Amino acid sequence: MSQPSVLFVCLGNICRSPLAEAALRARAVEAGVAITIDSAGTGDWHVGHAPDPRAVELARKYGLDISGYRARQVRDEDFHKFGHIFALDPQNLKDLRRIEPSRHIAEVRLLMDLVPGRKGTAVIDPYYGDEQDFEQAWADVCAAADALVKRYSG
């Protein structure tokens, strides 16, 4: 069986998807599960930029360094490279469906569908919010990371 591969997608790739990437990387290492992990955005406003400083600080609070991450936009080849592409909210899922190639290998779905009781819901977008919104986004992506590690380790 080939190694699982996951791409997390939000709008700008500076808050939620880098946090999801960091959460899954940390959980996978703890569990000893090999997963290829990346993140991207549907928009191009922040391409090449580091994550939002509030996301960097939050990750640091939990012992993770995401300061070296750089935002990028989803590309056609992502649909062929990754087995799973997870949108962090329903609008980004719609945007992914709109741009996905007619033939690809990726299973494209909503991230929170993996978490019991959260089907159809979004990871809160903390960009215009406060510290509590970032904490909620972190809790959401950690719950999804735990579900993914369980899925890939079984």
pLDDT digit string, tens, across residues 29-68: 999 999 999 999 999 999 999 999 999 999 999 999 999 9
**What are 65-102's pLDDT values in tens digits?**
999 999 999 999 999 999 999 999 999 999 999 999 99
Q: Average pLDDT for residues 119-135, to the nearest whole number? A: 97
- Among 15, 16, 27, 89, which one carries the catalytic annotation? 16
Among 2, 9, 5, residue whose Cα is nearest residue 111: 9
Whose tokens are 């960097």? That residue is: 56
- Among 38, 125, 140, 142, which one carries the catalytic annotation? 125
- Where in 3-154 does DSSP place strands (E)? 5-10, 36-41, 84-87, 107-110
- Among 10, 27, 38, 52, which one carries the catalytic annotation? 10
Residue ranges and CATH numbers for the domains of the chain are 5-147 (3.40.50.2300)
Indicate if 16 belongs to the active site: yes
Indicate if 125 belongs to the active site: yes
pTM here? Answer: 0.97
